[in-house]
Chain A
Amino acid sequence: MTSLVLTMTELLRYRGAIGQWSWMLHRLSGLGVVLFLTLHVIDTSWAVFYPDLYVHAIAAYQSPLFTIGEFALVAAVVYHALNGIRVAVIDNRPRLWKYQQRAAYIVLGLTVLILIPTFILMFGHVLNFYGSGAPTLSLIEVLTAQAPFVAGFAVAIIAAILFSLVFGLIAGNRKDVSVGKGTGSRLERFWWSFMRVSGVLIVPLVFGHLAMVHLIQGVFDITAANFTVVGTDLVNQTGTAVEFVAQRWNYQIFGAVAIWRLYDIALLSLAVIHGFNGLRYVLTDYTMSSPVLRRASIYLCVIGAVILLVLGAGALLGTIDQSAIEIATHAAENLHR
Protein backbone atom coordinates (compact mmCIF):
# COMPACT_ATOMS: atom_id res chain seq x y z
CA MET A 1 0.00 0.00 0.00
CA THR A 2 2.71 2.49 0.96
CA SER A 3 4.48 1.59 -2.27
CA LEU A 4 1.36 2.47 -4.26
CA VAL A 5 1.06 5.84 -2.51
CA LEU A 6 4.78 6.54 -2.98
CA THR A 7 4.62 5.65 -6.66
CA MET A 8 1.55 7.77 -7.30
CA THR A 9 2.78 10.88 -5.50
CA GLU A 10 6.31 10.67 -6.87
CA LEU A 11 5.02 9.97 -10.37
CA LEU A 12 3.22 13.29 -10.18
CA ARG A 13 6.27 15.00 -8.67
CA TYR A 14 9.09 13.47 -10.73
CA ARG A 15 9.69 15.52 -13.85
CA GLY A 16 10.32 12.64 -16.20
CA ALA A 17 9.69 12.89 -19.92
CA ILE A 18 6.57 11.79 -21.77
CA GLY A 19 7.44 8.11 -21.30
CA GLN A 20 6.24 8.11 -17.72
CA TRP A 21 2.88 9.60 -18.71
CA SER A 22 2.53 7.08 -21.53
CA TRP A 23 3.09 4.36 -18.98
CA MET A 24 0.57 5.84 -16.56
CA LEU A 25 -2.07 6.15 -19.29
CA HIS A 26 -1.29 2.64 -20.52
CA ARG A 27 -1.73 1.23 -17.04
CA LEU A 28 -4.92 3.17 -16.24
CA SER A 29 -6.48 2.40 -19.62
CA GLY A 30 -5.57 -1.29 -19.28
CA LEU A 31 -7.15 -1.46 -15.83
CA GLY A 32 -10.27 0.37 -16.99
CA VAL A 33 -10.71 -2.03 -19.87
CA VAL A 34 -10.23 -5.07 -17.61
CA LEU A 35 -12.95 -3.75 -15.32
CA PHE A 36 -15.38 -3.28 -18.18
CA LEU A 37 -14.39 -6.59 -19.76
CA THR A 38 -15.31 -8.35 -16.53
CA LEU A 39 -18.77 -6.79 -16.38
CA HIS A 40 -19.26 -7.31 -20.08
CA VAL A 41 -18.35 -10.99 -20.29
CA ILE A 42 -20.55 -11.84 -17.33
CA ASP A 43 -23.43 -9.74 -18.70
CA THR A 44 -23.16 -11.23 -22.15
CA SER A 45 -23.13 -14.79 -20.88
CA TRP A 46 -26.61 -14.07 -19.51
CA ALA A 47 -27.91 -13.90 -23.07
CA VAL A 48 -27.61 -17.68 -22.91
CA PHE A 49 -28.03 -18.42 -19.23
CA TYR A 50 -30.50 -15.76 -17.98
CA PRO A 51 -32.17 -14.00 -20.95
CA ASP A 52 -34.22 -11.68 -18.74
CA LEU A 53 -31.12 -10.48 -16.89
CA TYR A 54 -29.44 -9.81 -20.21
CA VAL A 55 -32.30 -7.57 -21.23
CA HIS A 56 -31.74 -5.58 -18.05
CA ALA A 57 -27.98 -5.42 -18.62
CA ILE A 58 -28.43 -3.98 -22.09
CA ALA A 59 -30.98 -1.54 -20.75
CA ALA A 60 -28.32 -0.38 -18.31
CA TYR A 61 -25.87 -0.01 -21.20
CA GLN A 62 -28.47 2.28 -22.77
CA SER A 63 -28.47 4.69 -19.81
CA PRO A 64 -26.46 7.90 -19.41
CA LEU A 65 -23.93 6.43 -16.95
CA PHE A 66 -22.89 3.68 -19.33
CA THR A 67 -23.05 6.03 -22.30
CA ILE A 68 -20.39 8.19 -20.67
CA GLY A 69 -18.52 5.02 -19.79
CA GLU A 70 -18.73 3.87 -23.39
CA PHE A 71 -16.87 6.96 -24.60
CA ALA A 72 -14.22 6.45 -21.93
CA LEU A 73 -13.95 2.78 -22.84
CA VAL A 74 -13.43 3.46 -26.54
CA ALA A 75 -10.82 6.13 -25.76
CA ALA A 76 -9.03 3.76 -23.37
CA VAL A 77 -8.96 0.90 -25.88
CA VAL A 78 -7.68 3.10 -28.70
CA TYR A 79 -4.91 4.65 -26.60
CA HIS A 80 -3.91 1.36 -25.00
CA ALA A 81 -3.79 -0.40 -28.36
CA LEU A 82 -1.64 2.23 -30.07
CA ASN A 83 0.70 2.63 -27.13
CA GLY A 84 0.85 -1.15 -26.79
CA ILE A 85 2.10 -1.37 -30.34
CA ARG A 86 4.72 1.28 -29.56
CA VAL A 87 5.94 -0.69 -26.55
CA ALA A 88 5.89 -4.02 -28.37
CA VAL A 89 7.87 -2.65 -31.30
CA ILE A 90 10.59 -0.94 -29.25
CA ASP A 91 10.86 -3.91 -26.91
CA ASN A 92 11.70 -6.03 -29.93
CA ARG A 93 14.11 -3.47 -31.37
CA PRO A 94 15.74 -1.75 -28.38
CA ARG A 95 18.03 0.31 -30.60
CA LEU A 96 14.98 2.25 -31.81
CA TRP A 97 14.85 3.92 -28.36
CA LYS A 98 15.77 7.24 -29.96
CA TYR A 99 12.34 7.37 -31.55
CA GLN A 100 10.37 6.45 -28.46
CA GLN A 101 9.51 10.02 -27.47
CA ARG A 102 8.37 10.89 -30.96
CA ALA A 103 6.43 7.63 -31.05
CA ALA A 104 4.76 8.52 -27.76
CA TYR A 105 3.57 11.84 -29.20
CA ILE A 106 2.44 10.14 -32.39
CA VAL A 107 0.43 7.68 -30.28
CA LEU A 108 -1.30 10.58 -28.53
CA GLY A 109 -1.93 12.38 -31.81
CA LEU A 110 -3.26 9.28 -33.57
CA THR A 111 -5.50 8.54 -30.61
CA VAL A 112 -7.08 11.97 -30.93
CA LEU A 113 -7.32 11.65 -34.73
CA ILE A 114 -9.07 8.30 -34.46
CA LEU A 115 -11.31 9.43 -31.63
CA ILE A 116 -12.68 12.55 -33.33
CA PRO A 117 -14.64 10.80 -36.13
CA THR A 118 -15.35 7.88 -33.80
CA PHE A 119 -16.90 10.12 -31.17
CA ILE A 120 -18.86 11.99 -33.82
CA LEU A 121 -20.37 8.73 -35.07
CA MET A 122 -21.06 7.54 -31.53
CA PHE A 123 -22.56 10.87 -30.64
CA GLY A 124 -24.93 10.49 -33.59
CA HIS A 125 -26.26 7.28 -32.05
CA VAL A 126 -26.50 8.95 -28.65
CA LEU A 127 -28.49 11.91 -29.97
CA ASN A 128 -30.79 9.65 -31.94
CA PHE A 129 -31.55 7.55 -28.94
CA TYR A 130 -31.93 10.14 -26.19
CA GLY A 131 -33.60 12.54 -28.66
CA SER A 132 -36.26 9.96 -29.49
CA GLY A 133 -37.46 10.15 -25.91
CA ALA A 134 -36.98 6.42 -25.43
CA PRO A 135 -37.37 5.44 -21.79
CA THR A 136 -34.15 4.82 -19.86
CA LEU A 137 -33.41 3.27 -16.51
CA SER A 138 -32.76 5.73 -13.71
CA LEU A 139 -29.27 6.12 -12.25
CA ILE A 140 -30.40 4.39 -9.07
CA GLU A 141 -31.70 1.39 -11.03
CA VAL A 142 -28.46 1.18 -13.00
CA LEU A 143 -26.31 1.44 -9.90
CA THR A 144 -28.29 -1.14 -7.94
CA ALA A 145 -27.96 -3.48 -10.91
CA GLN A 146 -24.17 -3.25 -10.50
CA ALA A 147 -24.31 -4.08 -6.80
CA PRO A 148 -24.03 -7.85 -7.38
CA PHE A 149 -20.79 -7.21 -9.27
CA VAL A 150 -19.34 -5.22 -6.41
CA ALA A 151 -20.35 -8.03 -4.07
CA GLY A 152 -18.81 -10.56 -6.46
CA PHE A 153 -15.53 -8.65 -6.59
CA ALA A 154 -15.47 -8.48 -2.79
CA VAL A 155 -16.04 -12.22 -2.54
CA ALA A 156 -13.28 -12.92 -5.08
CA ILE A 157 -10.85 -10.66 -3.23
CA ILE A 158 -11.66 -12.20 0.15
CA ALA A 159 -11.38 -15.70 -1.32
CA ALA A 160 -7.98 -14.86 -2.82
CA ILE A 161 -6.71 -13.52 0.50
CA LEU A 162 -8.06 -16.55 2.38
CA PHE A 163 -6.42 -18.98 -0.05
CA SER A 164 -3.23 -17.04 0.32
CA LEU A 165 -3.39 -17.16 4.12
CA VAL A 166 -4.06 -20.89 4.07
CA PHE A 167 -1.23 -21.45 1.64
CA GLY A 168 1.03 -19.42 3.91
CA LEU A 169 0.07 -21.55 6.92
CA ILE A 170 0.79 -24.79 5.07
CA ALA A 171 3.82 -23.90 3.01
CA GLY A 172 5.23 -20.91 4.89
CA ASN A 173 5.68 -17.36 3.69
CA ARG A 174 8.68 -16.81 1.50
CA LYS A 175 9.73 -13.27 2.32
CA ASP A 176 12.93 -12.99 0.34
CA VAL A 177 12.03 -12.29 -3.26
CA SER A 178 15.19 -10.39 -4.15
CA VAL A 179 17.12 -11.45 -7.23
CA GLY A 180 20.17 -13.66 -7.09
CA LYS A 181 18.67 -17.12 -6.67
CA GLY A 182 20.10 -18.08 -10.04
CA THR A 183 17.12 -19.66 -11.74
CA GLY A 184 15.23 -17.53 -14.18
CA SER A 185 11.47 -17.86 -14.41
CA ARG A 186 10.42 -19.55 -17.66
CA LEU A 187 6.88 -18.45 -16.86
CA GLU A 188 7.70 -14.74 -16.64
CA ARG A 189 9.64 -15.03 -19.86
CA PHE A 190 6.59 -16.59 -21.52
CA TRP A 191 4.24 -13.91 -20.16
CA TRP A 192 6.47 -11.12 -21.40
CA SER A 193 6.30 -12.46 -24.95
CA PHE A 194 2.64 -13.36 -24.60
CA MET A 195 1.67 -9.81 -23.60
CA ARG A 196 3.26 -8.45 -26.74
CA VAL A 197 2.05 -11.07 -29.19
CA SER A 198 -1.49 -11.20 -27.77
CA GLY A 199 -1.65 -7.41 -27.67
CA VAL A 200 -0.87 -7.13 -31.36
CA LEU A 201 -3.36 -9.92 -32.20
CA ILE A 202 -6.07 -8.19 -30.15
CA VAL A 203 -5.74 -4.96 -32.14
CA PRO A 204 -7.71 -6.02 -35.25
CA LEU A 205 -10.15 -8.07 -33.17
CA VAL A 206 -11.02 -5.34 -30.69
CA PHE A 207 -11.12 -2.58 -33.31
CA GLY A 208 -13.46 -4.73 -35.40
CA HIS A 209 -15.61 -5.39 -32.36
CA LEU A 210 -15.79 -1.71 -31.44
CA ALA A 211 -16.55 -0.74 -35.02
CA MET A 212 -19.41 -3.21 -35.24
CA VAL A 213 -21.23 -2.66 -31.96
CA HIS A 214 -20.27 0.91 -31.10
CA LEU A 215 -19.99 2.69 -34.42
CA ILE A 216 -21.83 0.96 -37.25
CA GLN A 217 -24.69 -0.39 -35.22
CA GLY A 218 -24.22 1.17 -31.81
CA VAL A 219 -25.34 -0.09 -28.44
CA PHE A 220 -28.77 1.50 -28.91
CA ASP A 221 -29.59 -0.39 -32.11
CA ILE A 222 -29.18 -3.72 -30.35
CA THR A 223 -32.78 -3.37 -29.24
CA ALA A 224 -34.23 -1.94 -32.45
CA ALA A 225 -36.87 -4.20 -34.01
CA ASN A 226 -36.59 -5.38 -37.62
CA PHE A 227 -32.98 -4.27 -37.78
CA THR A 228 -30.46 -6.29 -39.76
CA VAL A 229 -27.87 -7.47 -37.27
CA VAL A 230 -24.42 -6.07 -37.96
CA GLY A 231 -22.06 -8.45 -39.72
CA THR A 232 -24.91 -10.78 -40.77
CA ASP A 233 -27.85 -10.81 -43.15
CA LEU A 234 -30.21 -11.90 -40.38
CA VAL A 235 -32.88 -9.66 -38.90
CA ASN A 236 -33.54 -9.01 -35.22
CA GLN A 237 -37.31 -9.27 -35.47
CA THR A 238 -38.33 -8.93 -31.84
CA GLY A 239 -35.86 -6.13 -31.22
CA THR A 240 -34.60 -7.85 -28.08
CA ALA A 241 -30.96 -7.89 -27.12
CA VAL A 242 -31.16 -11.66 -26.80
CA GLU A 243 -32.28 -12.15 -30.40
CA PHE A 244 -29.51 -9.79 -31.50
CA VAL A 245 -26.92 -12.04 -29.89
CA ALA A 246 -28.65 -15.16 -31.17
CA GLN A 247 -28.61 -13.93 -34.74
CA ARG A 248 -24.97 -12.91 -34.57
CA TRP A 249 -23.92 -16.26 -33.24
CA ASN A 250 -26.21 -18.19 -35.61
CA TYR A 251 -24.87 -16.49 -38.70
CA GLN A 252 -22.73 -18.84 -40.73
CA ILE A 253 -20.48 -18.38 -43.68
CA PHE A 254 -19.38 -21.13 -46.11
CA GLY A 255 -22.43 -23.08 -45.00
CA ALA A 256 -21.20 -24.10 -41.57
CA VAL A 257 -18.71 -21.68 -40.05
CA ALA A 258 -20.23 -19.64 -37.21
CA ILE A 259 -17.89 -16.78 -37.90
CA TRP A 260 -18.90 -14.50 -35.02
CA ARG A 261 -18.70 -17.26 -32.47
CA LEU A 262 -15.14 -17.99 -33.57
CA TYR A 263 -14.34 -14.29 -33.59
CA ASP A 264 -15.71 -13.81 -30.10
CA ILE A 265 -13.92 -16.87 -28.76
CA ALA A 266 -10.61 -15.52 -30.09
CA LEU A 267 -11.23 -12.06 -28.66
CA LEU A 268 -12.50 -13.42 -25.35
CA SER A 269 -9.56 -15.70 -24.70
CA LEU A 270 -6.87 -13.26 -25.81
CA ALA A 271 -8.35 -10.26 -24.00
CA VAL A 272 -9.09 -12.13 -20.77
CA ILE A 273 -5.67 -13.73 -20.51
CA HIS A 274 -3.85 -10.55 -21.56
CA GLY A 275 -5.97 -8.38 -19.29
CA PHE A 276 -5.71 -10.53 -16.18
CA ASN A 277 -2.00 -11.07 -16.59
CA GLY A 278 -1.76 -7.29 -16.92
CA LEU A 279 -3.76 -6.96 -13.71
CA ARG A 280 -1.33 -9.37 -12.07
CA TYR A 281 1.59 -7.17 -13.18
CA VAL A 282 -0.05 -4.13 -11.65
CA LEU A 283 -1.12 -5.77 -8.39
CA THR A 284 2.16 -7.59 -7.76
CA ASP A 285 4.12 -4.38 -8.42
CA TYR A 286 2.53 -2.87 -5.34
CA THR A 287 2.27 -5.92 -3.07
CA MET A 288 5.82 -7.24 -3.33
CA SER A 289 6.60 -6.50 0.30
CA SER A 290 3.74 -8.63 1.64
CA PRO A 291 3.93 -12.36 0.81
CA VAL A 292 0.22 -12.80 1.64
CA LEU A 293 -1.01 -9.98 -0.57
CA ARG A 294 1.41 -10.85 -3.36
CA ARG A 295 0.08 -14.40 -3.55
CA ALA A 296 -3.47 -13.15 -3.14
CA SER A 297 -2.96 -10.86 -6.14
CA ILE A 298 -1.97 -13.81 -8.26
CA TYR A 299 -4.87 -15.95 -7.04
CA LEU A 300 -7.30 -13.12 -7.70
CA CYS A 301 -6.16 -12.83 -11.29
CA VAL A 302 -6.37 -16.58 -11.82
CA ILE A 303 -9.85 -16.71 -10.27
CA GLY A 304 -11.01 -13.81 -12.41
CA ALA A 305 -9.59 -15.17 -15.64
CA VAL A 306 -10.94 -18.68 -15.08
CA ILE A 307 -14.44 -17.45 -14.23
CA LEU A 308 -14.58 -15.25 -17.31
CA LEU A 309 -13.17 -17.91 -19.63
CA VAL A 310 -15.59 -20.56 -18.35
CA LEU A 311 -18.64 -18.26 -18.46
CA GLY A 312 -17.69 -16.77 -21.80
CA ALA A 313 -16.86 -20.07 -23.46
CA GLY A 314 -19.98 -21.66 -21.95
CA ALA A 315 -22.11 -18.94 -23.49
CA LEU A 316 -20.32 -18.98 -26.83
CA LEU A 317 -20.78 -22.74 -27.14
CA GLY A 318 -24.37 -22.63 -25.87
CA THR A 319 -27.56 -22.17 -27.81
CA ILE A 320 -30.16 -19.44 -27.63
CA ASP A 321 -33.50 -21.00 -28.52
CA GLN A 322 -36.91 -19.54 -29.23
CA SER A 323 -38.01 -19.75 -25.61
CA ALA A 324 -35.09 -17.55 -24.54
CA ILE A 325 -36.18 -14.91 -27.03
CA GLU A 326 -39.72 -15.13 -25.67
CA ILE A 327 -38.49 -14.61 -22.12
CA ALA A 328 -36.51 -11.63 -23.37
CA THR A 329 -39.50 -10.14 -25.19
CA HIS A 330 -41.51 -10.44 -22.02
CA ALA A 331 -38.73 -8.89 -19.90
CA ALA A 332 -38.33 -6.02 -22.35
CA GLU A 333 -42.03 -5.25 -22.15
CA ASN A 334 -41.86 -5.01 -18.37
CA LEU A 335 -38.62 -3.04 -18.30
CA HIS A 336 -39.97 0.45 -18.03
CA ARG A 337 -43.16 -0.27 -16.19
Chain B
Amino acid sequence: MDVTFRIRRFNPEIPGKNKPYWQEFHLTDVEETDRVLELMHRIKWEQDGTLTLRRACAHGVCGSDAMRINGVNRLACKVLARDVGNRIQVEPLIGLPVLKDLVVDMEPFFANYRAVMPYFINDSPVPADGRERRQSQEDREKFDDTTKCILCAACTTSCPSYWANGQYVGPAAIVQAHRFIFDSRDEGAQERLEVLGEPNGVWRCRTIYNCTPACPRGIQVTRAIGEVKLAIRSGSPEGIIEESVGPVASSNS
Protein backbone atom coordinates (compact mmCIF):
# COMPACT_ATOMS: atom_id res chain seq x y z
CA MET B 1 0.00 0.00 0.00
CA ASP B 2 0.92 3.65 -0.29
CA VAL B 3 1.27 5.82 2.75
CA THR B 4 1.38 9.56 3.27
CA PHE B 5 3.22 10.88 6.28
CA ARG B 6 2.59 14.29 7.73
CA ILE B 7 5.39 15.10 10.13
CA ARG B 8 5.80 18.04 12.51
CA ARG B 9 9.28 19.39 12.02
CA PHE B 10 11.50 21.94 13.70
CA ASN B 11 15.17 22.79 13.46
CA PRO B 12 16.36 25.64 15.68
CA GLU B 13 19.60 26.06 13.73
CA ILE B 14 18.22 26.68 10.26
CA PRO B 15 16.47 29.94 9.38
CA GLY B 16 13.04 29.19 7.95
CA LYS B 17 12.87 25.91 9.87
CA ASN B 18 13.19 27.36 13.35
CA LYS B 19 9.43 27.57 13.71
CA PRO B 20 7.54 24.26 13.83
CA TYR B 21 6.07 23.35 10.43
CA TRP B 22 4.40 20.37 8.74
CA GLN B 23 6.05 18.36 5.98
CA GLU B 24 4.54 15.58 3.89
CA PHE B 25 6.31 12.45 2.63
CA HIS B 26 4.97 9.70 0.39
CA LEU B 27 6.01 6.06 0.60
CA THR B 28 5.12 3.24 -1.78
CA ASP B 29 5.41 -0.53 -1.32
CA VAL B 30 4.46 -0.38 2.32
CA GLU B 31 3.55 -3.69 3.96
CA GLU B 32 0.65 -3.76 6.39
CA THR B 33 2.97 -5.21 8.99
CA ASP B 34 5.66 -2.54 8.63
CA ARG B 35 6.14 -0.57 11.79
CA VAL B 36 5.87 3.20 11.77
CA LEU B 37 9.46 3.38 13.00
CA GLU B 38 10.71 1.47 9.93
CA LEU B 39 8.70 3.73 7.66
CA MET B 40 10.23 6.78 9.25
CA HIS B 41 13.66 5.21 8.74
CA ARG B 42 12.81 4.82 5.07
CA ILE B 43 11.97 8.51 4.89
CA LYS B 44 15.21 9.40 6.60
CA TRP B 45 17.34 7.07 4.51
CA GLU B 46 15.65 7.44 1.13
CA GLN B 47 14.20 10.96 1.12
CA ASP B 48 15.41 13.37 3.78
CA GLY B 49 18.43 12.61 5.91
CA THR B 50 17.74 15.59 8.17
CA LEU B 51 14.60 14.01 9.70
CA THR B 52 15.54 13.54 13.33
CA LEU B 53 14.10 11.04 15.79
CA ARG B 54 15.25 9.01 18.76
CA ARG B 55 15.30 5.24 18.81
CA ALA B 56 17.53 2.47 20.01
CA CYS B 57 16.10 -1.01 20.44
CA ALA B 58 13.32 -0.86 17.83
CA HIS B 59 11.48 -3.51 19.85
CA GLY B 60 9.51 -1.70 22.53
CA VAL B 61 12.11 -2.19 25.23
CA CYS B 62 14.17 0.97 25.56
CA GLY B 63 11.43 3.61 25.56
CA SER B 64 13.25 6.03 23.23
CA ASP B 65 10.72 6.54 20.47
CA ALA B 66 7.50 7.70 22.11
CA MET B 67 5.79 10.25 19.88
CA ARG B 68 2.30 11.37 18.97
CA ILE B 69 1.05 9.21 16.12
CA ASN B 70 -2.34 10.08 14.67
CA GLY B 71 -3.15 12.15 17.71
CA VAL B 72 -2.15 9.79 20.52
CA ASN B 73 1.11 8.92 22.23
CA ARG B 74 2.60 5.64 21.00
CA LEU B 75 5.96 3.97 20.53
CA ALA B 76 6.74 4.23 16.81
CA CYS B 77 8.34 0.78 17.01
CA LYS B 78 5.14 -0.84 18.30
CA VAL B 79 2.64 0.62 15.82
CA LEU B 80 2.03 -1.22 12.56
CA ALA B 81 0.97 0.45 9.33
CA ARG B 82 -2.31 -1.43 9.45
CA ASP B 83 -3.08 0.04 12.89
CA VAL B 84 -2.93 3.60 11.60
CA GLY B 85 -3.98 3.42 7.94
CA ASN B 86 -2.40 5.20 5.03
CA ARG B 87 -2.41 8.73 6.38
CA ILE B 88 -0.03 8.92 9.28
CA GLN B 89 0.52 12.08 11.26
CA VAL B 90 3.52 12.24 13.56
CA GLU B 91 4.32 14.91 16.14
CA PRO B 92 6.66 15.22 19.11
CA LEU B 93 5.35 14.62 22.66
CA ILE B 94 3.50 17.55 24.26
CA GLY B 95 4.79 19.42 27.29
CA LEU B 96 8.52 18.73 26.94
CA PRO B 97 10.71 21.24 25.04
CA VAL B 98 11.26 20.16 21.44
CA LEU B 99 14.96 20.06 20.54
CA LYS B 100 14.66 19.05 16.89
CA ASP B 101 11.88 17.42 14.86
CA LEU B 102 10.61 14.55 17.04
CA VAL B 103 13.31 14.75 19.67
CA VAL B 104 12.23 16.32 22.97
CA ASP B 105 14.31 17.30 25.97
CA MET B 106 13.68 14.53 28.51
CA GLU B 107 15.55 16.24 31.35
CA PRO B 108 12.46 17.74 33.09
CA PHE B 109 10.88 14.30 32.90
CA PHE B 110 13.90 12.61 34.45
CA ALA B 111 14.20 15.31 37.12
CA ASN B 112 10.70 14.35 38.30
CA TYR B 113 11.67 10.69 38.08
CA ARG B 114 14.71 11.23 40.31
CA ALA B 115 12.61 13.19 42.83
CA VAL B 116 10.69 10.06 43.86
CA MET B 117 13.86 8.11 44.80
CA PRO B 118 13.41 5.37 42.22
CA TYR B 119 15.77 2.88 43.85
CA PHE B 120 15.60 0.24 46.53
CA ILE B 121 15.94 1.62 50.04
CA ASN B 122 16.60 -0.70 52.93
CA ASP B 123 19.12 0.09 55.62
CA SER B 124 18.34 -2.75 58.00
CA PRO B 125 20.96 -5.48 58.35
CA VAL B 126 20.82 -8.31 55.86
CA PRO B 127 18.94 -11.43 57.02
CA ALA B 128 20.82 -13.77 59.36
CA ASP B 129 21.45 -16.34 56.67
CA GLY B 130 23.12 -13.60 54.65
CA ARG B 131 20.98 -14.31 51.62
CA GLU B 132 17.88 -12.73 50.13
CA ARG B 133 15.19 -10.62 51.78
CA ARG B 134 12.20 -12.86 51.40
CA GLN B 135 8.87 -11.79 49.95
CA SER B 136 5.67 -13.76 49.41
CA GLN B 137 4.28 -14.17 45.92
CA GLU B 138 1.23 -12.12 46.88
CA ASP B 139 3.39 -9.25 48.09
CA ARG B 140 5.42 -9.43 44.89
CA GLU B 141 2.27 -9.25 42.78
CA LYS B 142 1.16 -5.98 44.36
CA PHE B 143 3.71 -4.01 42.39
CA ASP B 144 4.27 -6.37 39.49
CA ASP B 145 2.46 -4.12 37.05
CA THR B 146 4.57 -1.05 37.80
CA THR B 147 7.88 -2.90 37.37
CA LYS B 148 7.21 -2.95 33.63
CA CYS B 149 7.73 0.77 33.01
CA ILE B 150 10.37 1.68 30.42
CA LEU B 151 10.31 5.45 31.08
CA CYS B 152 9.14 6.39 27.61
CA ALA B 153 7.14 9.42 28.89
CA ALA B 154 4.09 8.55 26.80
CA CYS B 155 1.84 8.68 29.87
CA THR B 156 3.21 11.86 31.40
CA THR B 157 2.97 13.80 28.13
CA SER B 158 -0.59 12.59 27.49
CA CYS B 159 -1.80 14.27 30.67
CA PRO B 160 -3.61 17.64 30.44
CA SER B 161 -2.49 18.44 33.98
CA TYR B 162 1.12 18.00 32.87
CA TRP B 163 0.62 20.13 29.75
CA ALA B 164 -0.73 22.88 31.97
CA ASN B 165 1.91 22.59 34.62
CA GLY B 166 5.31 21.08 33.91
CA GLN B 167 6.06 21.11 37.63
CA TYR B 168 3.50 18.34 38.17
CA VAL B 169 5.50 15.21 38.94
CA GLY B 170 3.52 13.29 36.31
CA PRO B 171 2.21 9.74 35.88
CA ALA B 172 5.51 8.01 35.04
CA ALA B 173 7.28 9.20 38.19
CA ILE B 174 4.29 8.07 40.27
CA VAL B 175 4.32 4.66 38.56
CA GLN B 176 8.03 4.35 39.38
CA ALA B 177 7.40 5.37 42.98
CA HIS B 178 4.52 2.88 43.20
CA ARG B 179 6.92 0.09 42.28
CA PHE B 180 8.91 0.78 45.46
CA ILE B 181 6.21 2.09 47.80
CA PHE B 182 4.29 -1.18 47.58
CA ASP B 183 7.39 -3.39 47.75
CA SER B 184 7.29 -5.07 51.20
CA ARG B 185 11.13 -5.24 51.29
CA ASP B 186 11.60 -1.52 50.73
CA GLU B 187 11.81 0.92 53.65
CA GLY B 188 11.56 4.25 51.83
CA ALA B 189 7.79 4.36 51.44
CA GLN B 190 7.26 7.18 53.94
CA GLU B 191 9.82 9.46 52.28
CA ARG B 192 8.32 8.82 48.87
CA LEU B 193 4.79 9.40 50.12
CA GLU B 194 5.97 12.74 51.52
CA VAL B 195 7.45 13.77 48.17
CA LEU B 196 4.36 12.71 46.26
CA GLY B 197 2.13 14.44 48.82
CA GLU B 198 3.58 17.84 47.86
CA PRO B 199 1.27 20.27 46.04
CA ASN B 200 2.74 19.26 42.67
CA GLY B 201 2.72 15.57 43.54
CA VAL B 202 -0.22 13.21 43.10
CA TRP B 203 -2.84 15.86 43.91
CA ARG B 204 -2.47 17.40 40.44
CA CYS B 205 -3.93 14.20 39.00
CA ARG B 206 -7.58 14.81 38.10
CA THR B 207 -8.38 11.18 37.18
CA ILE B 208 -8.59 12.01 33.45
CA TYR B 209 -7.35 8.59 32.24
CA ASN B 210 -5.33 9.76 29.24
CA CYS B 211 -2.25 8.06 30.69
CA THR B 212 -3.62 4.53 30.98
CA PRO B 213 -4.30 3.91 27.26
CA ALA B 214 -1.12 5.80 26.33
CA CYS B 215 1.15 3.29 28.06
CA PRO B 216 2.78 0.96 25.53
CA ARG B 217 3.46 -1.52 28.32
CA GLY B 218 -0.17 -1.90 29.30
CA ILE B 219 0.50 -0.60 32.79
CA GLN B 220 -2.65 0.43 34.67
CA VAL B 221 -1.21 3.87 35.22
CA THR B 222 -4.20 5.76 36.65
CA ARG B 223 -4.89 2.89 39.00
CA ALA B 224 -1.32 3.03 40.29
CA ILE B 225 -1.66 6.78 40.86
CA GLY B 226 -4.94 6.19 42.70
CA GLU B 227 -3.33 3.63 44.97
CA VAL B 228 -0.55 6.06 45.84
CA LYS B 229 -3.13 8.76 46.67
CA LEU B 230 -4.93 6.37 49.01
CA ALA B 231 -1.64 5.40 50.64
CA ILE B 232 -0.90 9.08 51.29
CA ARG B 233 -4.39 9.59 52.67
CA SER B 234 -4.10 6.69 55.08
CA GLY B 235 -0.46 7.46 55.94
CA SER B 236 0.95 4.12 54.83
CA PRO B 237 0.89 1.65 51.92
CA GLU B 238 -0.41 -1.01 54.29
CA GLY B 239 -3.72 -2.57 53.23
CA ILE B 240 -4.26 -0.35 50.17
CA ILE B 241 -3.91 -3.02 47.49
CA GLU B 242 -6.31 -5.85 48.22
CA GLU B 243 -6.29 -7.30 44.77
CA SER B 244 -3.28 -7.10 42.49
CA VAL B 245 -3.44 -6.43 38.80
CA GLY B 246 -3.51 -10.05 37.70
CA PRO B 247 -2.89 -11.35 34.18
CA VAL B 248 -0.51 -9.16 32.26
CA ALA B 249 -2.16 -6.90 29.72
CA SER B 250 -0.27 -5.97 26.58
CA SER B 251 -2.23 -2.79 26.00
CA ASN B 252 -5.05 -0.84 27.60
CA SER B 253 -6.16 1.08 24.55
Task: State which of A56-64, A93-101, A268-276 sits at the interface with chain B.
Answer: A93-101
Task: State which of B16-24, B51-59, B98-106, B220-228 sits at the interface with chain A.
Answer: B220-228
Contact A179 B227 (CB under 8 A): no
Contact B195 A4 (CB under 8 A): no
Contact A97 B220 (CB under 8 A): yes
User: How many residues belonging to B are interface residues under a CB distance threshold of 8 Å?
Assistant: 55
A7 at the interface (CB under 8 A from B): yes
Contact A95 B196 (CB under 8 A): no
Most-contacted residue by chain A among B112, B209, B220, B243 (CB, 10 A)? B209
B31 at the interface (CB under 8 A from A): no
A21 CB to nearest chain B CB (Å): 10
Q: From B112, B161, B220, give the contact of A179 (CB < 8 A).
A: B112
**Complex Cα–Cα for A192 and B112 (A):** 22
Contact B71 A179 (CB under 8 A): no
Cβ–Cβ < 8 Å partners of A17 in chain B: 209-210, 213, 253
Given the known inter-chain contacts A19-B208, A91-B229, A192-B229, please indicate yes or no for A288 contacting B200, CB distance below 8 A: yes
Cβ–Cβ < 8 Å partners of A22 in chain B: 208
**Complex Cα–Cα for A87 and B201 (A):** 18
Identify which of residues 166-199 in chain B touch chain A, using a CB-to-CB cut-off of 8 Å: 166-169, 173, 191, 193-199
Cβ–Cβ < 8 Å partners of B212 in chain A: 97
B71 CB to nearest chain A CB (Å): 3
Given the known inter-chain contacts A179-B115, A179-B195, A179-B196, please indicate yes or no for A193 contacting B226, CB distance below 8 A: no
**Complex Cα–Cα for A21 and B167 (A):** 23
A285 at the interface (CB under 8 A from B): yes
**Complex Cα–Cα for A191 and B194 (A):** 16
A322 at the interface (CB under 8 A from B): no
Contact B230 A92 (CB under 8 A): yes
Chain B's closest residue to A10 (CB) is: B94
A15 at the interface (CB under 8 A from B): yes
Q: From B112, B161, B222, give the contact of A285 (CB < 8 A).
A: B161
Identify which of residues 273-309 in chain A touch chain B, using a CB-to-CB cut-off of 8 Å: 281, 284-286, 288-289
Cβ–Cβ < 8 Å partners of B230 in chain A: 92, 94
Contact A14 B233 (CB under 8 A): no
Cβ–Cβ < 8 Å partners of A188 in chain B: 197-199, 203
Cβ–Cβ < 8 Å partners of B243 in chain A: 95
B72 at the interface (CB under 8 A from A): yes
Given the known inter-chain contacts A15-B70, A184-B196, please indicate yes or no for A192 contacting B233, CB distance below 8 A: yes
A178 at the interface (CB under 8 A from B): yes
Cβ–Cβ < 8 Å partners of A65 in chain B: none
Interface residues of A (CB under 8 A from B): 3-4, 6-7, 10-11, 13-17, 19-20, 22-23, 87, 90-92, 94-95, 97, 100-101, 177-185, 188-189, 191-193, 281, 284-286, 288-289
Q: List 8 A-B contacts (CB under 8 A).
A: A3-B163, A10-B163, A23-B206, A94-B224, A177-B200, A182-B194, A188-B199, A288-B168
